[in-house]
Structure 1
């Protein structure tokens, strides 16, 4: 049996350890570690390469959104589910925009959390249907550039979520340093991403890439 490797990130040790103990009772779920803040979650995600990270939305030092952005940029195959005390549509929309697979309420029944982990592992988005429609509108209006659906048609290869977001920032006129700050990456990493993007778009420079996208 393939076990779903789960990393739990929450700044409340009692909650984190209690949830981990309950999840360990499931034969198909393996808790690889517990993180106490976003910085810890990033390090442990790199160390254990979990299938899913249960990420508290609000944590000290590095928050859940920032940690999600960094983990998805480095390890796009890791699925991240936000843990929140109450539903906040703006925070949840932002987390999904940067790559999260949805959210679970921290006071949900254990069975609901376990079902959510399995559904997420199977590729489902953990969001109510009513919110998914609102989310689509939020994502469309959050960028004044080409829609995501156009990008794969332009590129010879399918673009990753980070590459898509980087292209939107590029079209917004942001420089490498600004893109690095927005995506929590180093300037060197941004340059490497852009180099790969130019190859996929079959262009040689930022100017050619912007001209190609704006003419679509």
Structure 2
């Protein structure tokens, strides 16, 4: 059972998310929070596996709450949800350590998929969010060859990173590369270790920051 904490200052939103998620047999909403401070407290108290975090909340916003929660021992995975699709919010959420980013008007199937992906250590980012990452770094300087920060990755690991930046899950990457999913997981783990990042989303940020994603056609 996937244990979920919902943090949003609007009661109707929290109720809607709860109804959608608890209709699934493998997801349980174990707590709710109306602001960032409450989200931090509840995360430490109930130990959810996944937190659905609104960005704009009173007292402490979702970005600051995300940073605080991720400093806890054995922190949950955080998926940010918002009605705001501005580049500033997207970039700050990913840099804060969010493992997924969905707009609140996304279909319920995407919300469910995001929770399941987060619970398994995978990630799910809306295609529109990926496009905004492209826009965010579109004017970054791009040099020839592999960026220095990625130089320690093997060719196979670069191939996996390229597919990660396209938003593919481990299973989809395995199909694309015609390898076992366990092999993909091993590559992903090595990529995260070599880049010194927490999760796949942070790896995507690095790929865009260095210009690798744009150069590789992702």
TM-score normalised by length of structure 2: 0.59
Cα gap change, 1:49/1:148 in structure 2, threshold over 3 Å: closer, same or farther?
A: farther
Cα gap change, 1:76/1:65 in structure 2, threshold over 3 Å: closer, same or farther?
A: farther
Deviations 1:155-206 (A, max 9, x none): x999565xxxxxxxxxxxxxxxxxxxxxxxxxxxxxxxxxxxxxxxxxxxxx
Distance in 2 separating the partners of 1:149 and 1:78: 28
Q: Which residue of 1 aligns with 2:132?
A: 131
SS at match of 1:8: strand
- Structure 1 stretches (4+) deviating beyond 2 angstroms? 119-122, 127-135, 147-150, 156-161
Contact map agreement 1:120 1:126 (CA 8 A) in 2: no
Shift of 1:119: 2.2
Q: Which residue of 2 aligns with 1:38?
A: 36
List runs of 5+ in structure 2 lacking aligned partners: 142-147, 152-192, 199-218
TM-score normalised by length of structure 1: 0.60
Distance in 2 separating the partners of 1:134 and 1:73: 30
Distance in 2 separating the partners of 1:76 and 1:87: 29
Matches within 5 A, 1:49-198: 49-75=47-73, 77-122=75-120, 123-128=122-127, 129-134=130-135, 137=137, 161=198
Cα gap change, 1:77/1:8 in structure 2, threshold over 3 Å: closer, same or farther?
A: same
Q: May I ask how many residue pairs the two structures share in their alignment? A: 152
Shift of 1:76: 5.7
How large is the Cα RMSD of the aligned pairs?
A: 3.2
Shift of 1:47: 0.7
Contact map agreement 2:114 2:124 (CA 8 A) in 1: no
